[in-house]
């Protein structure tokens, strides 16, 4: 096993432009993009530690602990943590969301199978939901109003990624996020993830999970109309629309043998439709906000 001195030594070279969904696109106001990209870079450093194929679990945990201590000031400084630490200080935000993501990466270091949907959503609570919450907090949005639908969208985005990458995760990391009970319901096995084309039982399981993503996205569809910052609302509307289209694609296409990703032109067109629909509703969002707050008060 390889022993590496710091999280920097594990970096994969992957950046925010390589993600399946936009990260701090130019829809986001420039005054917020730096804080979001600092968060992304810190999280990417932790994710690269968790996904490093040559590190034993205990070494991964030690490196993740080092990142946490550097961010909170409990340990030595780390170049992977300093930009986010500075942004948090300027904005007087706690490190909570970043630390929760490190908890998810610790889970990845220790765990490679999930029994059921609830167990997977518990993982998403730490691996995905803090991302949306952080972006909303950076923009000063009201957590009581927006965290719930944001959590649903973020969980869906995470599961979509799990479905898209299910073959690669199994082959490269022996990691399976697809719930075992879902595989069992359809007569599928983990070994099928190693095939070049998904057999019918596995395709059925993947379709079930894609359908669950659509349910989550329906729960989160109201989010753009609840957000005060128009540019952020448009960014989330674009991401939401992309996620819906990808989920529907996963109902029909096989991620083991096909790319279920958008090309740049299709990506832009789908995102634009989400933006246009949200802009059209923007003058009437007051009633949506009032309804949401009344529901929360019950």
Helix extents (H) in the chain? 30-50, 57-72, 82-91, 96-110, 117-127, 129-138, 143-164, 166-173, 180-185, 200-220, 223-226, 230-252, 264-281, 285-297
Looking at the fold, whether 155 and 74 belong to one and the same domain comes out as: no
Burial class (CB in 10 A: 0-12, 13-18, 19+), 6: middle
Looking at the fold, whether 251 and 195 belong to one and the same domain comes out as: yes
Looking at the fold, whether 65 and 188 belong to one and the same domain comes out as: no
Looking at the fold, whether 42 and 120 belong to one and the same domain comes out as: no
Predicted confidence (pLDDT) at residue 16 exceeds the cutoff of 50: no
Residues for the chain: how many in total?
Answer: 298
* Residue 101, domain member (yes or no): no
130-170 tens-digit pLDDT: 999 999 999 999 999 999 999 999 999 999 999 999 999 99
Q: How many domains does the chain contain in total?
A: 2
Q: What does the angle CA 20 – CA 245 – CA 105 come to, to the nearest 5 degrees?
A: 35
What is the value of pTM for the model shown? Answer: 0.86
Q: What is the mean pLDDT of residues 110-138?
A: 97
Dihedral-angle region of residue 258 (phi above 0 means left; psi in -120 to 50 means alpha; beta otherwise): beta
Q: List the structure tokens of 253.
A: 């296409």
* Residue 75, domain member (yes or no): yes
* Residue 47, domain member (yes or no): yes
Looking at the fold, whether 149 and 67 belong to one and the same domain comes out as: no
169-208 tens-digit pLDDT: 999 999 999 999 999 999 999 999 999 999 999 999 999 9
27-86 tens-digit pLDDT: 789 999 999 999 999 999 999 999 998 899 999 999 999 999 999 999 999 999 999 999
Q: Which domain holds residue 69?
A: 1-95
Nearest to 220 by CA among 235, 237, 205, 199: 237
Looking at the fold, whether 201 and 144 belong to one and the same domain comes out as: yes
* Residue 103, domain member (yes or no): no
Nearest to 221 by CA among 207, 208, 239: 239
Q: Which one of 69, 95, 121 terminates a domain?
A: 95
Alpha-carbon gap, residue 101 to 131, rounded angstroms: 8
226-261 tens-digit pLDDT: 999 998 999 999 899 999 999 999 999 999 999 876
Any idea what the CATH number is for the domain that residue 285 is in?
A: 1.10.600.10
3-state secondary structure of 266: helix
Looking at the fold, whether 171 and 27 belong to one and the same domain comes out as: no
Looking at the fold, whether 288 and 259 belong to one and the same domain comes out as: yes
Q: How confident is the model at residue 273 (pLDDT cuts 50, 70, 90)?
A: confident
Q: How confident is the model at residue 15 (pLDDT cuts 50, 70, 90)?
A: very low
Looking at the fold, whether 130 and 234 belong to one and the same domain comes out as: yes
Looking at the fold, whether 24 and 86 belong to one and the same domain comes out as: yes
Give residue 281's pLDDT. 76
Give residue 180's pLDDT. 98
Alpha-carbon gap, residue 16 to 151, rounded angstroms: 21
The pLDDT mean for the chain works out to 88
Give residue 290's pLDDT. 58
Q: How confident is the model at residue 2 (pLDDT cuts 50, 70, 90)?
A: very low
Looking at the fold, whether 130 and 210 belong to one and the same domain comes out as: yes
Nearest to 242 by CA among 211, 222, 259, 263: 263
Looking at the fold, whether 124 and 83 belong to one and the same domain comes out as: no
């Amino acid at each position: 096993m390889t022993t590496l001195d710091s999280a920097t030594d594990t970096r994969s070279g992957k950046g925010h432009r390589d993600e399946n969904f936009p990260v701090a696109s130019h829809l986001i106001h420039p005054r917020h993009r730096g804080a979001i990209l600092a968060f992304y870079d810190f999280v990417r450093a932790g994710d690269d530690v968790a996904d490093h194929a040559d590190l034993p679990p205990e070494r991964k945990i030690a490196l993740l602990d080092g990142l946490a201590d550097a961010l909170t000031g409990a340990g030595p400084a780390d170049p992977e943590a300093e930009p986010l630490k500075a942004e948090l200080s300027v904005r007087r935000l706690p490190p909570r969301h970043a630390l929760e993501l490190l908890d998810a990466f610790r889970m990845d270091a220790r765990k490679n199978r999930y029994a059921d949907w609830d167990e997977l959503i518990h993982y998403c609570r730490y691996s995905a939901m803090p991302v949306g919450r952080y972006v909303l907090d950076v923009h000063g949005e009201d957590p009581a109003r927006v965290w719930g639908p944001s959590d649903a969208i973020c969980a869906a985005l995470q599961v979509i990624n799990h479905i898209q990458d299910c073959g690669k995760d199994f082959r490269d990391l022996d990691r399976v996020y697809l719930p075992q009970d879902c595989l069992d319901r359809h007569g599928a096995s983990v070994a099928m993830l190693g095939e070049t084309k998904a057999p019918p039982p596995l395709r059925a399981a993947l379709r079930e999970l894609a359908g669950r993503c659509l349910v989550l996205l329906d729960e989160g569809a109201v989010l753009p109309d609840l957000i005060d910052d128009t540019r952020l609302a448009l960014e989330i509307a674009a991401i939401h629309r992309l996620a819906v289209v990808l989920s529907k694609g996963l109902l029909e296409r096989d991620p083991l043998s096909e790319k279920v990703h958008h090309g740049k032109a299709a990506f832009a067109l789908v995102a634009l439709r989400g933006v246009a629909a949200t802009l059209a509703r923007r003058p009437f969002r007051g009633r949506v906000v009032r309804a949401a707050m009344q529901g929360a008060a019950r």
